[in-house]
Amino acid sequence: MSAHDIELMARGGTLALLALWSWLLWRDSRQQLAARCAIAMNIGIVCYLIVTTAWETETSPVGLIFSLGAGATPALFWLFAKTWFSDQTRLRHRDLVLVALWTANVLVMQLSFQAAPEFVAYPAIVFRLGMFGFGAAGLWHAWRGREGDLIESRRRLRFWMIVTVGLYVLAIGVAEPVVYRGGAPHAILSLIAGSIVFATLGLCGAMFVARRDDLFGPEPGRPDDRPDPAQAVDDPLVARLLSHMERERPHRDEGLTIAALAARLGEQEYRLRRTINRALGHRNFAQFLNSWRLDEVRQALADPAQREVPILTIALDAGFGSLGPFNRAFREAEGMTPSEYRAAALADSGIG
């Protein structure tokens, strides 16, 4: 069996795994934003795996659609990394606009190959730069939150994500231009494409091993599935943690890490991670800290004695580093701005 045959078998297996994984995501987790972004990314990867075979030379409308899907993969990966690694539940309008502009540039580039080859250099430059930009942004999301990630399976998958995307960016952003200009043999592209196939195969396998709720969390709109801290307090570590948070208020320290909190409690870090995730229901450490910070902010905003205290001061005192992250966290938790919450709370108390 030749190396080409092995690559084709791996490519076919990867396509089957991506299709199966996407179907399971749609069946079990389609209400989760990160799961929907994962499905879109998988479709892009499938398109790439198809167009990097000999079939990519076809210029039919179907071939154009597959090329468009393959070209959109970097932007789709960025959306997936942004929502999954940061546990985001909504996308900003500017994110969608950026992806739409990127896809439009890919379309212009593909059409230029056929209709105006002399013009293709301009969208191609934008494509190369954008690929590095989306790849770097996605990897930044994967890298920056690794210490605070409380999902062990997801922490391990970050490595595979970095390897897979790094190879993809290398193949499309660096190797292709060099090979097509005669600076390197075509065998290099085959080698990198094969590496991408096997890395993607490993990533899919790791995704199947992990529990669905660990990867994407429980379905939204089911608050009863969240662990009850009142029941979890029977765990000695939970009791110590909650007592320390209430008494010492370490969440006010903007730079607090889970390692530092574990040291304060005299506990092993992995046990603290598992406790915060499984007993208290938080998926990342920032989410856990923000829950305490938001509780403190709510109390201050509803306190008539602090009605003249600026909201920024209250947010900074509670441990938020700046107004932007605080406003986003508060709106996501309460569905209104801090000013609106304060006005409603004071009105209910008869002091509005």
pLDDT tens for the chain, 352 residues long, are 666 676 677 778 778 888 888 898 898 888 889 999 999 999 998 888 888 776 555 567 888 889 899 889 889 999 998 998 888 888 889 999 999 999 999 998 888 877 667 777 788 889 888 988 998 898 888 888 788 888 887 887 777 777 777 666 666 667 666 666 665 566 666 666 666 677 777 777 767 666 656 677 665 544 444 555 555 556 889 999 999 999 999 999 998 999 999 999 999 999 999 999 988 989 899 999 999 999 999 999 999 999 899 999 999 999 998 888 899 899 988 989 999 999 998 887 665 5
Q: Give the CA angle between residues 9, 10, 12 to the nearest 5°.
A: 65
Which is nearest to 4 in space by CA: 189, 153, 247? Answer: 189
pTM, rounded to two decimals: 0.78
Buried b (16+ CB within 10 A) or exposed e, 117-135: eeebeebbebbbebbeebb
Residue 135 pLDDT: 86
3-state secondary structure of 149: strand
What is the total residue count of the chain?
352
3-state secondary structure of 349: coil
Residue 184 pLDDT: 58
For the chain, domain boundaries: 3-216, 226-283, 293-352
The structure tokens 């190396």 sit at 3
Q: Give the CA angle between residues 37, 155, 241 to the nearest 5°.
A: 115
Which CATH architecture does the domain made up of 293-352 adopt? Orthogonal Bundle (1.10)
Residue range 3-216, CATH number: 1.20.1070
> 320, exposed or middle or buried, with CB in 10 Å at 0-12, 13-18, 19+?
buried
DSSP helix, strand, coil percent of the chain (3-state; round to 5): 80, 0, 20
